Amino acid sequence: MGRDSKACVVGELSARQRRGAFTLIELLIVMMLIAILMGLLYPVLLKSRGWGREKQAMMEIKNLELAIKAYKNVYGKWPAQTKFGNDIYYTNDNQPVISNLLHNPRGLVFLQYQASSLSTNPADQGSYLDPWQRPYVILLDASGDQQIAELEINAEVGVFSWGPGGAVQLAKTNNIAQIELRSWNISYDKTQ
């Protein structure tokens, strides 16, 4: 009887083990459901990531604009300004402005930044980069007429990002006022 009872116990354990395991069909169905859910969620996640980058760029643009204006209030001139009269444009390399904001004579902190936001590329080393790793474009009204004349922007400071599309965005609109990631208010533009 002892032998038979052991045989039953062994048989019961193996039956329990079989009932607790998943079949191949069940595993394939679960994997297929996970793949379908990932397929549905992936575009949403990509879109939210792009939206997050745009929000980050707008925040950095506003901070950069405020830092530049604060510098002018303290020193009476724009960062890196050497002459008065003509408006100043920093399109591919904003390093002179950023350098003056970060290393000014009084040691004041005008701009908070992350080290990863500064370019290490030799072509534009020290430039402040947008979330798409392109330097922000900085426009300064050096003539004092509250307008960046050639571009017809009614502001003394204009900062913008080319965004995810790069300079192609400007080529499509052919109007700098239509760039969405910018510091100036569109309601003041003459182009509308």
- Please give the distance of CA 100 from its chain centroid, rounded to a whole number: 23
Q: Which domain does 103 fall in, by range?
A: 52-188
What's the average model confidence in pLDDT over 173-187?
A: 67
Rounded to an integer, the average pLDDT of 7-21 is: 57
Indicate whether 43 belongs to any domain: no
> pTM of the entire structure?
0.70
Question: Residue 187 has what pLDDT?
Answer: 44
User: Is pLDDT of 9 > 80?
Assistant: no
pLDDT score at 10:
53
**SS3 call for 161:** coil
pLDDT per position as a tens digit, 98-136: 999 999 999 999 998 888 888 888 878 889 999 999 899
CATH number of the domain where residue 89 is located: 3.30.700
- Name the domain count of the chain: 1
**Greater pLDDT, 36 or 49:** 36
Whether 40 is in a domain gets the answer no
Residue 72 binned pLDDT confidence (cut-offs 50, 70, 90) = very high
Q: Strand, helix or coil at 32? A: helix
Give CA separation, 99 vs 103, 108, 120, 132, in Å: 6, 12, 14, 21
